[in-house]
Amino acid sequence: MTTAPRDMRDGRHDFDFEIGAWKIAPSGYGHIVRKLWDGATIAQLVIPNPRRHVRGSLLSIYNPSSRQWSIYWADAKDGTLSSPLLGRFRNGVGSFVGRDSVDGHAIMTRLCIFNIASRSFQTLEETSSDGGRTWGGAKRATFTRQ
């Protein structure tokens, strides 16, 4: 009996590159990431002179059994925790997908983290209202270490 080789890489340090303080372009927001334990980080979004009221944090937690990350948004405004974006890093690119809702309509959100270097990385966030058949509303961001 032959079995396919399994990716045995432990990904619990995949988000370690993100620990520290970042400036986000084009928004000008800040992003401060702290390590909670091996396989977990928490990121605080810092918005100078916010146009709208946004307060909260991103919580990223690694599951060593599934080798998968869960990324949650903890919203300080209403005390809610979002459904997670689920995914992993492969070949230096993080891909995460999850379900959400906007104005009562179900959507999917996809986040890609790429071009990871010691002083910068980029993200692309897109949404789908047709179950992932098509994606749009691309929001690109570049994070630069402070």
Percent of the chain with pLDDT over 70: 90
Tell me, yes or no, whether 95 lies in a domain: yes
Q: What is the pTM of this model?
A: 0.87
Quick one: DSSP state of residue 38?
T
Average pLDDT over residues 52-59: 76
Among candidates 31, 28, 25, which has minimal Cα distance to 48? 28
Average pLDDT over residues 99-119: 92
Give the integer Cα–Cα distance in Å for 93 and 119. Answer: 16
Tell me, yes or no, whether 4 lies in a domain: no
Give the integer Cα–Cα distance in Å for 114 and 112. Answer: 6
Confidence of residue 112 (pLDDT cuts 50, 70, 90): very high
Tell me, yes or no, whether 21 lies in a domain: yes
Number of separate domains in the chain: 1
Tell me, yes or no, whether 1 lies in a domain: no
Confidence of residue 9 (pLDDT cuts 50, 70, 90): confident
Tell me, yes or no, whether 8 lies in a domain: no
Average pLDDT over residues 111-128: 97
Tell me, yes or no, whether 6 lies in a domain: no
CB atoms within 10 A of CB 43: 20
CATH number at residue 115: 2.40.128
Q: What mean pLDDT, rounded, does the chain reach?
A: 88
Tell me, yes or no, whether 34 lies in a domain: yes
Burial of 31 (0-12, 13-18, 19+ CB in 10 A): buried
Higher pLDDT, 35 or 53: 35
pLDDT at 4 over 50: no
Residue 136, domain extent:
16-145
